[in-house]
Every structure is written in structure tokens, then in C-alpha cells.
């Protein structure tokens, strides 16, 4: 077990990537502190982990609230005595023409995605400094940190801000054995992908469009992201800090998408 005995806080565990990370960490021997805004989904994830012999607790948390983050880490330390890792996965997506983006919408995205990351990082680092044993933090961003799409200004701003925060913390705490890295997924089969499919006139046309934009010609899986997260939290990545690990099937590496025809040989 690659995470045996490590106490790891994971936010946004109610579904999708966060749920898969929490379950995978428990299988790898971690003591998981699962946080989610909705108790209806978050508690069920922990119940399933415990039923399989894992060690986990659930704390209902809105990470944009300093009081909620304080309560989350207080509960984690009370239960397990220390913090060894943190995965800042909770976040909100947003797509809207910029001229229609209100200050309220901007603040909502930045408060959750960036402020929430800051609040959780700050408390986790303070707890790691108390023990002197160091630790590992993963800030889950997006391949939007490599390029942008139309209508995602607040989301892109928040995710790029997470990279800047990560690099700053990575170098500031490197000498104190605290590693901070970014994990940037591309399009992954989560509820967001299901929403994209269901909003399209045709599931097949939607699949064909998105797959043509991904060099691997498929949407990624939560398991592929959680596998990377295990590596980043574990002692296998002890020389890695301030990095941005992009897992997007090659999407952010291409200049243009594949042409919808076969070119003649040159």
C-alpha cells in the first residue's frame, strides 16, 4: 500500500474525480478526511469506504468559507492527530459570454476555486509544520492552465491563479519538506461530461466533436486521474514540487485539431 498510514484531506469528494481519489487513497492505506458541500453524496462515499475496510470520515464543507475550512481541519486533527496530505479538488465550473459575466458570478468561481484552495493550503501547511515531517499538497486545476476556451474567463483566471499559488508555495516550503504540485486534468468522464452530452442535440455528434479534439480520441477516466494523485501524494514523488502535471490525452500539446479528411501524402 503506497499511502499506508498517511492522513489525507480530500475536498470535493461527493462525485467524479474527488470521489475516485478518496476511494483510491483508502485502498492504498490512507486515512481519508473527505469533504464535500453536499452531505447527501459525501457521506455515502465515506460509508462505502468504511464498508470495504477503509478508514475515513466525512466533514460537510464549503471551502470558500474560512469557518468551514477551520472546522474541517480541526475535525481531521482531532480524529487522526496530523495532516500528511491534501488534495484541493473541490471547485465550480462556469461557461458564459464575458459581457454577461456578473461580478457575483466572478466572485463565486474565484471564491471557491482560488480562495478555497488558499484557505485549505494555509491550514494544511500550518499542520504539517507542527509535526515537522512535511507533506504533499495537490491542487487540482485543469488543462485550461495551458490554454483557454471562449466563455470561461473566471474559471481560467482561477485555475491559472492556482498554478501561481502552487509554484510560490512549492519553492517557499521546499526546504521544509512540504511539496505542492498541480494536477491538471483534461476532459474526464464526470457529471460535467454527462451534462455536455445531454445538452447536445446528438450524443454521437457531441462524442465525435470532442474526440476529434483529443489526440487519443477519447475522454479520460477518473481512475486515470486518481492514479496520478496517488503518485503525487506518495513518497514516490519526493523530488517533485511546484510542477503542473497535465493529463489530457495530448489535447494541450496540439496546435490545431485533426482535419476532418485525409490529407494527400506530401
Residues 80, 118, 155, 261: which is the catalytic one?
A: 155
User: Does the annotation count 155 as an active-site position?
Assistant: yes
User: Could you give the CA distance from residue 255 to residue 116 in angstroms, rounded to a whole number?
Assistant: 33
User: Could you give the CA distance from residue 169 to residue 48 in angstroms, rounded to a whole number?
Assistant: 34
Q: Which among 172, 185, 189 is positioned nearest to 140, based on CA atoms?
A: 185
3-state DSSP helix/strand/coil % of the chain, to nearest 5:
50, 15, 35
Q: Which among 106, 109, 108, 113 is positioned nearest to 12, based on CA atoms?
A: 113
Query: What would the grid cell of residue 207 be?
Result: 462524442
Q: Do the bridges between strand 244-247 and strand 178-185 make them parallel or antiparallel, or are there none, so unpaired?
A: parallel
User: Going along 72-111, which residue ranges are E strands?
Assistant: 85-88
Catalytically active residues are: 155
Amino acid at each position: 500500500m503506497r499511502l499506508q498510514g498517511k492522513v489525507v484531506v480530500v475536498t470535493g469528494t461527493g462525485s467524479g474525480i474527488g470521489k475516485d481519489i478518496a476511494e483510491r487513497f483508502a485502498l492504498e492505506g490512507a486515512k481519508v478526511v473527505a469533504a464535500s458541500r453536499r452531505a447527501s453524496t459525501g457521506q455515502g462515499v465515506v460509508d462505502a469506504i468504511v464498508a470495504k475496510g477503509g478508514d475515513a470520515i466525512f466533514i460537510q464543507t464549503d471551502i470558500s468559507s474560512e469557518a468551514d475550512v477551520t472546522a474541517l481541519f480541526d475535525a481531521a486533527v482531532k480524529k487522526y492527530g496530523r495532516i500528511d496530505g491534501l488534495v484541493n479538488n473541490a471547485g465550480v465550473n462556469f461557461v458564459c459570454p464575458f459581457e454577461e459575466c456578473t461580478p457575483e458570478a466572478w466572485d463565486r468561481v474565484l471564491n471557491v476555486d482560488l480562495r478555497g484552495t488558499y484557505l485549505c493550503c494555509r491550514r494544511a501547511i500550518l499542520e504539517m509544520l507542527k509535526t515537522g515531517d512535511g507533506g504533499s499538497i495537490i491542487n487540482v486545476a485543469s488543462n485550461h492552465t495551458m490554454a483557454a476556451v471562449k466563455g470561461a474567463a473566471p474559471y481560467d483566471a482561477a485555475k491559472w491563479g492556482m498554478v501561481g499559488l502552487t509554484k510560490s508555495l512549492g519553492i517557499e516550503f521546499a526546504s521544509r519538506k512540504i511539496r505542492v504540485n498541480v494536477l491538471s486534468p483534461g476532459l474526464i468522464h464526470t457529471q460535467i461530461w454527462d451534462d455536455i452530452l445531454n445538452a447536445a442535440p446528438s450524443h454521437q455528434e457531441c462524442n465525435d466533436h470532442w474526440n476529434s479534439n483529443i489526440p487519443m480520441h477519447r475522454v479520460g477516466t477518473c481512475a486515470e486521474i486518481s492514479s496520478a494523485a496517488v503518485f503525487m501524494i506518495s513518497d514516490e514523488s519526493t523530488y517533485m514540487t511546484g510542477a503542473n502535471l497535465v493529463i489530457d490525452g495530448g489535447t494541450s500539446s496540439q496546435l490545431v485539431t485533426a482535419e476532418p479528411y485525409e490529407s494527400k501524402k506530401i
